[in-house]
């Protein structure tokens, strides 16, 4: 089954670009990119990449990003007739066995697949495993039910909602049908204290502009140094 990553990126994310491009190349999976107020120089880092299949841009400097800005790039992936769309952030990579596991994921008949989402912490050799830093996230969206609609419906909600078409969800049951897989996605965005603070400041700004406040306590916990993190050595890389 064919799969395409889709990603939203801004100029602040430049430090992650090389790793992201190395990752899509390693997996040989196409990707689509939304550029949020990015310079021509920054966009040129992706230009001509053989796996880049679609791009969108929001270039007005006075318009703040919201989660709903990802709709147009997702629509381009859908129109390109991929079987699956996978939401991949610019600061995320996959475990070393991802190629085989992604093949397994895309053989399943369900609407969305949740995978294990783990945060690298202080060193790439460790992940943080106390809540909320070790859990599952909806990543893979099934696009094969052609009359169903995946819609980013709220400026502060990370993922899209499925509106079933005339055929209903793929399972034939009511509601969105989910499945889980032990495929691991590794998040590099909280690796250092500086990374954590920058992420908090960014999402506080974005969500406050969009809805008046940051509705997620995740970034507060990430930056709370009174909490002793529980770390686990791993072999995912």
- What's the CATH number where 166 sits? 3.90.550
Task: Report, in this order, helix, strand and coil percent for the chain, each rounded to 5.
Answer: 30, 30, 40
- Above 80 in pLDDT, residue 175? no
- Residue 201 pLDDT greater than 50, yes or no: yes
Mark 87-110 as b/e (b = at least 16 C-beta within 10 Å): bbbbbbbbbeebeebbeebbebeb
Overall number of domains in the chain: 1
Range of 88's domain? 3-233
Q: Answer yes or no: is pLDDT of 172 > 50.
A: no
Alpha-carbon span 202 to 125, nearest angstrom: 26
Q: Is the pLDDT of residue 62 over 50?
A: yes
pTM to 2 decimal places = 0.93
Please say if the pLDDT value at position 221 is more than 70: yes
Q: What is the pLDDT of residue 148?
A: 73
Beta bridge partners of 151: 161
What is the rounded CA–CA span in Å between residue 34 and residue 143? 19
CA distance to 105, 160, 193, per residue, from 101 (Å): 6, 23, 32
């Amino acid at each position: 089954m064919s799969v395409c990553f889709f990603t939203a990126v801004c100029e602040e994310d430049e430090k992650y670009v090389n790793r992201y491009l190395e990752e899509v190349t390693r997996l040989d999976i196409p990707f689509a990119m939304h550029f949020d107020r990015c310079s021509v120089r920054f966009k040129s880092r992706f230009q001509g990449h053989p796996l880049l299949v679609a791009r969108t841009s929001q270039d007005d400097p006075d318009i703040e990003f919201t989660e709903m800005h990802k709709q147009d790039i997702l629509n381009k992936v859908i129109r390109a007739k991929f079987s699956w769309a996978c939401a991949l952030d610019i600061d995320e990579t996959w475990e070393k066995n991802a190629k085989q596991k992604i093949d397994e994921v895309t053989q399943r008949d369900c609407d969305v697949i949740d995978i294990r989402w783990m945060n690298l912490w202080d060193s790439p050799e460790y992940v943080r495993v106390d809540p909320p830093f070790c859990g599952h996230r909806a990543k893979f969206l099934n696009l094969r039910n052609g009359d169903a609609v995946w819609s980013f419906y709220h400026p502060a909600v990370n993922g899209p909602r499925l509106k079933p078409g005339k055929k209903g969800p793929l399972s034939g049951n009511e509601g969105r049908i989910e499945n889980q897989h032990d495929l691991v996605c590794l998040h590099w965005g909280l690796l250092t204290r500086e990374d954590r603070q920058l992420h908090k400041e960014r999402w506080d700004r974005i969500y406050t502009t969009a809805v008046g406040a940051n509705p997620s306590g995740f970034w507060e916990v990430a930056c709370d140094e009174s909490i002793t993190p529980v770390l686990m050595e791993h072999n995912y890389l």
